[in-house]
């Protein structure tokens, strides 16, 4: 019952914005893949992927199926090395040897490029936090990464200032 995924079938179930690189579910396929939500989840290898017809597809490969009508036979490389940036102009079909020469900067929940911020796919938000004396201090959840980063900077500054004042007053 495992049918070959076609461009037409993909476009029935998922929408792709080539500028932002974001895939969105057009229909509810299961409890996790609900209509209107971002499609895909972060894999341990740092790539976003989605399961369709019991088969796992990396989103950067589906971008080519969505835009060009076929899955690439070769590797797909992220030009800026950010594996979470699936915007179409950031993707390039390359040979295996070319891909191996260009190491990938794997992005994960802990590293989206802004210190103290990570994307939480379950809450579909950006979480800000910092560490002090091996303790993780949660700042909050935010809808945009820049807002979370600013909250991180503000909270860390206030926390460190309070720690400094406590040290002086003792």
Distance CA 45, CA 129 (A): 23
Q: Which of 21-25, 135-139, 160-164 has the lowest mean pLDDT?
A: 160-164
Going from N- to C-terminal start, the domains of the chain cover 7-101, 117-169
pLDDT tens per residue across span 110-141: 456 778 887 776 667 888 888 877 778 888 98
Whether 13 and 4 have beta carbons less than 8 Å apart is answered as no
Yes or no: is domain 7-101 CATH 3.40.30.10? no
Mean pLDDT over all residues of the chain? 82
Distance CA 81, CA 56 (A): 22
> Which residues have C-beta within 8 Å of that of residue 1, sequence separation ≥ 6?
53
Which three-class secondary structure state does DSSP give residue 155? helix
The dihedral of CA 55, 53, 84, 97: what is its sign?
positive
Query: What pTM value is reported for the model?
Result: 0.58
């Amino acid at each position: 019952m495992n049918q070959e995924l076609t461009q037409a079938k993909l476009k029935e179930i998922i929408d792709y914005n080539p500028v932002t690189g974001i895939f969105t579910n057009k229909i509810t396929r299961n409890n996790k893949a609900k209509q209107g939500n971002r499609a895909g989840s972060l894999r341990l290898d740092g790539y976003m992927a989605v399961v369709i017809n019991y088969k796992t597809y990396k989103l950067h490969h589906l971008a080519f199926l969505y835009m060009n009508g076929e899955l690439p036979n070769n590797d797909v490389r992220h030009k800026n090395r950010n594996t979470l940036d699936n915007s179409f102009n950031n993707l390039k079909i390359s040979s295996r040897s070319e891909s191996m020469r260009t190491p990938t900067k794997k992005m994960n929940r802990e590293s989206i490029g802004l210190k103290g911020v990570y994307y939480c796919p379950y809450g579909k938000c950006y979480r800000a936090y910092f560490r002090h004396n091996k303790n993780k201090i949660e700042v909050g959840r935010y809808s945009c990464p820049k807002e979370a980063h600013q909250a991180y900077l503000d909270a860390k500054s206030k926390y460190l200032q309070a720690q400094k004042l406590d040290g002086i007053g003792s």
